[in-house]
Amino acid sequence: MISQTSSAIRTTRPGSGLLCLAAIAFSGAIAACGGGEDSTAPSASTSTSAAFSSADRPNIIIITLDTTRADRFGCYGYSKAITPNLDRLAEGGALFSRAYAQAAVTPVSHASMMTGLNPYGHGLRVLHGTELTRLAEKAVTLAEVLAEQGYDTAAFLSAFPVSEYFGFDQGFSVFDAEFLVQTRETIISDGGVVNTGMNQRRADKTTRRALDWLARDRDTPYLLWVHYFDPHDPFVGPPTELLDSIPLPEGLDREGVLLELYDAEILFMDQQIGLLLGEIEKQSESDGQAGSVIAVLSDHGEGLGDHDWWSHGKLYEEQINIPFILNGPTITPGTQVDDVVRSIDLMPTLLELAGVAQEARPPIEGLSLLPLIRGESETTPRLAYADSISKLIYAQRKNHQTDRLFMLVEGSLKFILHLQHPEQSELYDLATDPKELINLYNERPRDVRRLEASLDALDFGRTRMRPEPRDDIPGDITKRLEALGYLK
Ligand SMILES: [Zn+2]
The pLDDT tens digits of the residues spanning 381-428 come to 999 999 988 654 444 454 555 678 899 999 999 999 998 889 999 999
Q: Could you give the percent of the chain with pLDDT greater than 70?
A: 75
Output the pLDDT for position 480: 74
The average pLDDT across 132-141 equals: 85
Task: Name the least confident of 218-227, 244-253, 388-397, 477-486.
Answer: 388-397
Give the Å distance between the CA of 298 and the centre of ligand 1. 8
The pLDDT tens digits of the residues spanning 327-341 come to 999 999 999 999 999
In angstroms, the CA 232 to CA 106 distance is 10
> Confidence class of residue 378 from pLDDT cuts 50, 70 and 90?
very high
Give the Å distance between the CA of 313 and the centre of ligand 1. 9
Is 187 a residue whose pLDDT tops 70?
A: no
Give the Å distance between the CA of 232 and the centre of ligand 1. 7
Please give the domain boundaries of the chain with CATH numbers for all domains. Answer: 48-234+264-373 (3.40.720.10), 384-483 (3.30.1120.10)
Do residues 254 and 21 lie in contact, with contact meaning Cβ atoms separated by under 8 Å? no
In angstroms, the CA 201 to CA 205 distance is 7
Give the Å distance between the CA of 152 and the centre of ligand 1. 26
Give the Å distance between the CA of 121 and the centre of ligand 1. 19
**What is the β-pairing status of strands 324-327 and 292-298?**
antiparallel
Do residues 298 and 73 lie in contact, with contact meaning Cβ atoms separated by under 8 Å? no
Burial of 237 (0-12, 13-18, 19+ CB in 10 A): buried
Output the pLDDT for position 111: 96
The pLDDT tens digits of the residues spanning 170-186 come to 999 999 998 776 555 55
Give the Å distance between the CA of 61 and the centre of ligand 1. 19
Output the pLDDT for position 392: 47
**What is the β-pairing status of strands 192-194 and 187-189?**
antiparallel
The average pLDDT across 191-210 equals: 78
Give the Å distance between the CA of 92 and the centre of ligand 1. 26
The most confident of 190-194, 249-253, 267-271, 311-315, by mean pLDDT: 267-271
Give the Å distance between the CA of 304 and the centre of ligand 1. 15
What is this structure's pTM? 0.85
Give the Å distance between the CA of 454 and the centre of ligand 1. 27
> Confidence class of residue 118 from pLDDT cuts 50, 70 and 90?
very high
Count of residues making up the chain: 488
Q: Mean pLDDT, the chain, as a whole number?
A: 82
| Residue 408 β-bridge partners | 385, 415
> Confidence class of residue 205 from pLDDT cuts 50, 70 and 90?
very high
Give the Å distance between the CA of 113 and the centre of ligand 1. 12
The average pLDDT across 317-328 equals: 97
List the one residue out of 161, 160, 155 whose CA is nearest residue 174: 155
Give the Å distance between the CA of 449 and the centre of ligand 1. 32
List the one residue out of 299, 323, 319, 322 whose CA is nearest residue 311: 319
Residues within 5 A (CB) of ion ligand 1: 66, 106, 299
CA angle 385, 390, 392 (to 5 degrees): 160
